Structure 1
């Protein structure tokens, strides 16, 4: 069944079908979202690594959220918020521009 579906697909034939402009806009939005998500993951990993440098019982943040599940959730939401702001920290935008460039 899967083989019969793939035989007439644009991927298999190399011929685009339907509304290609609408598909491009959808692909563009998907690429922007993927780049923003990548930036959020990058920021989260950076925050996670930074928290590991806080000594146990030795810093002002040590008694707080650093090693709790709430700390992890806080870092995730903070990373999403930072990446979701206009421009984020710039990694998502730069990645998008590089991936959007036509092949040379």
Structure 2
């Protein structure tokens, strides 16, 4: 008996779903980071400071991005889940 060389459709679908989950979580992380950066920029502007007046601006941005990545895809926010459910289709 010859074993089929192509993976079962259910395995392919599972791999595609995992890839989609990761993409949705990554999107949520990018969205959160951009939102937080914009909020921080607006807060600085209201305080009379400019974005250029940030000696550690790159480190601040990196900290925001790392925080957003850590929170995205977890049970907290859930935007990734809404995206995932709308994109995965019926099984």
Q: TM-score range by the shorter chain?
A: 0.7 to 0.9
> 1:66: Cα distance to partner?
8.5
State the match for 1:93 in structure 2: 81
Q: Which runs of 5+ in 2 are unaligned?
A: 1-5, 49-53
Write out the 4+ residue segments of structure 1 that deviate beyond 4 Å after TM superposition.
Answer: none
Alignment pair present for 1:48 and 2:37: yes
- Aligned pairs for 1:1-104 (under 5 A) are 18-55=7-44, 58=47, 68-85=57-74, 87-102=75-90
Q: Which runs of 5+ in 1 are unaligned?
A: 1-16, 60-64
With CA pairs under 8 Å and 6+ residues apart, which has the higher RCO, 1 or 2? 2
Q: Give me the whole-angstrom Cα distance separating, in 2, the residues matched to 1:34 and 1:44.
A: 15
Larger radius of gyration: 1
Q: State the TM-score, normalized to the length of structure 1.
A: 0.66
Distance 1:83 1:66, change over 3 A: farther
